[in-house]
Structure 1
Amino acid sequence: MANLQDRMALARQHYESAFGKKLKNTEMAEYCKVSKASIGQWFNGPTKNLEGANLSRAAEFLGVNHKWLAGGNAPMLTANPSKLSITIKSNSIDAPVLSMDQTQKWREYINGQITPEEYIATNYEGLDRESVFIVKVVDQSMSPIFEVGDRLIIDPYKLPSPGGYVLALCEGNTVVFRRYRVTGYDDDGEAQFELIPHNNDFPVLDSQKHDIKVLGVVVRFTREL
């Protein structure tokens, strides 16, 4: 589908057919936690793409596949779409296991452009259950608490909190697993932070000295014995 507005028009048709009523921008705005004006921009422009929570909530409200709504090569509807947001979810999902390099492009995975190494079942769902992914620890930077081979369950939509653990992209080319420590806030209210290793042989990374992008929050980990 050429652009977001074309996809939104089709999604509106599906919504109105499934529910048997007209879509109201006010209802969608309340569900998606945005302004009514934002909904109008999604349907009529100039918004070109939806991402993050806006994408997942819009897709859930409309009852369409969020990968399709994002412009990915995916069907518009998932299984039993007519149930929309009240669809009963299973207790577990098959989360993809991505390599550290693949995590830099997890949105491409969401759009069906990356093949994961394998899938592992988890009952963690997060805000958008289809965006949850897993990576394996590949170095000793977080030893002795975390060891090589431990599996980290990552929620890319969860906001990091002081003392928590994150997966982050540093200087645009290196993915690291570290503890997140807030050191202050800039004039715009954005957090300034450090990424702390448990192993002192690895460096502390400072957001004021390095270009760092948090890719997701570690919500659980598993270890094979």
Structure 2
Amino acid sequence: MNKRERIIAAIEHAVANGVKKREIADFCRVSRTAVTQWSKGDVEELKYSNLRSLAQVAGISEKWLAEGKGHMVDGTREPPNVYGINQNVEPAPAMHGAVPVISWVQAGAWSEVCVVDLDPEETEWLPRPPGASDDTFALRVAGESMAPRYNPGTLIYVDPAVQPEGGDDVVAVLTDTNEATFKRFVQEPGGDKLLMALNPDWPRRYLEINGNCSIVGVVIADMNLRRR
């Protein structure tokens, strides 16, 4: 099989096991149209993160889907049930790889920082969220500008491979100071773009984007750790 044929087989395998195409799209963080195009268009440029997510939701071998090596189902996998149909609990999707928890200084220069340059002994690592790209990193929220949605200490996962859309929470770099900031991306009618603090009492709640900042990545997940 070529890659397109393997993708078609993976989708059919997932559907045969009760996973709807819209659920495949949601799990892979793409549109339903994109899933349809995977079986029709050029798949050579398809992101590896999409192949990984498709393999996870279909319950098949990631290596087989991406490279055609081995078997589609390795004999140890259960049929996919990532949405917990007819159950009152949902199995968590499988996580592969890890992301570094970096400082806000490192976030400001992330485009120039390589993961392999991080000291593995000094760096804290967390499981990578399903569907996240290899460049994803984590930050601990500092300050109150995004409270109460994100309180200080909350871990946010930032994916530079995701294109920001209006309403996304993003990490951006102010070019005049090279400092990273965490805000909501707002695109007003007419094309005006803003960064907005969620805290209504924040002194400078809105920051116009007029060439004075660049967006590092979009927040795709967040986590609060319980401390006793």
**Which residue matches 1:181?**
186
**Which residue matches 2:198?**
198
Change in Cα spacing, 1:223 to 1:161, as seen in structure 2 (3 Å) is same
Change in Cα spacing, 1:114 to 1:202, as seen in structure 2 (3 Å) is farther
**Which residue matches 2:125?**
119
1:149 pairs with 2:153: yes
Give me the TM-score of the superposition, normalised by structure 1.
0.55
Provide structure 2 residue ranges, at least 5 long, that are not aligned to the other structure: 1-40, 52-62, 73-93
Change in Cα spacing, 1:152 to 1:111, as seen in structure 2 (3 Å) is closer
Task: Calculate percent identity across the aligned residue pairs.
Answer: 20
SS at match of 2:105: helix
**Which residue matches 2:15?**
none
**Which one has a larger percent helix, Structure 1 or Structure 2?**
1
SS at match of 1:138: coil
Change in Cα spacing, 1:202 to 1:100, as seen in structure 2 (3 Å) is farther
Pairwise CA distance, 1:184: 4.8
Letter of the 1:102 partner, please give it: Q
Letter of the 1:215 partner, please give it: V
Pairwise CA distance, 1:132: 1.1
Provide structure 1 residue ranges, at least 5 long, that are not aligned to the other structure: 1-28, 34-52, 61-81, 186-190
RMSD: 3.1
Cα-to-partner distance string for 1:25-57 (whole Å, 9 max, x where unaligned): xxxx94454xxxxxxxxxxxxxxxxxxx9xx66
Letter of the 1:110 partner, please give it: C
1:85 pairs with 2:66: yes
1:96 pairs with 2:116: no
Instruction: Please show how residues 51-62 of structure 1 align to structure 2 within 5 Å.
Output: none
Q: After TM superposition, which residue ranges in structure 1, 4 or more long, deviate above 4 angstroms? A: none
Change in Cα spacing, 1:125 to 1:109, as seen in structure 2 (3 Å) is farther
